[in-house]
Amino acid sequence: MNVSEGKSVTVHYVLKLENGRVYESTLEEDPLVYTHGQGEIIKGMEKELTGMSIGQQKTFIVEPEEGYGEVTLDALLEVPREHVPMEARMVGEKITAVGPKGQKVEGFVYEDKRKTLVIDFNHPLAGMTLYFEVSVVDIQEPEPA
């Protein structure tokens, strides 16, 4: 059986950044389980996994446009200082906000302009080339609805 549309796929992976640093790994924890073709993982990873079989391993690179996208200036928001919790008012601090559809969005304080703070809501991996090592652990037919 091969990785294809609608299949429940279980993989172990190591994600490294351009400098070779491991950013994320499932090797010491539970593997990732996702439904192929549903957009649950980044496009580039899904594309590379297509057609793989159980036990197969692969190393590949995902460019930003098929990963977490490019860094965009639209994701930088300037907000009044008083709208940010006291403990998060320093450059580099993480902040969680509520998006336009009520979803939680994470960002970090990018710049302190005294009366306002610039919050960066780009994904932390936006603009980065990603280096993956994956192994397919299991492939299952989808559960009947």
pLDDT tops 70 at residue 145: no
Structure tokens at 112: 């302190």
DSSP state of 106: E
Q: Indicate the pTM of the whole model.
A: 0.81
Q: Where does the pLDDT of residue 133 fall: very low under 50, low under 70, confident under 90, or very high at 90 and above?
A: very high
Q: Does residue 3 lie in a domain region? A: no
* Whether residue 91 sits in one domain with residue 61: no
Using DSSP's 3-state secondary structure scheme, residue 117 falls into: strand
Domain span at 104 = 73-120
**Spatial contact of 36 and 9, defined as CB atoms under 8 Å apart:** yes
pLDDT tens string 62-109: 999 999 999 999 999 999 999 998 999 999 999 988 877 888 888 999
Note whether 101 and 83 are same-domain residues: yes
The span from the CA of 97 to the CA of 16, in Å, is 28
* pLDDT single digits (tens) 96-131: 888 778 888 889 999 999 999 999 999 999 999 999
Asked whether 28 and 7 are in contact (CB, 8 A), the reply is no
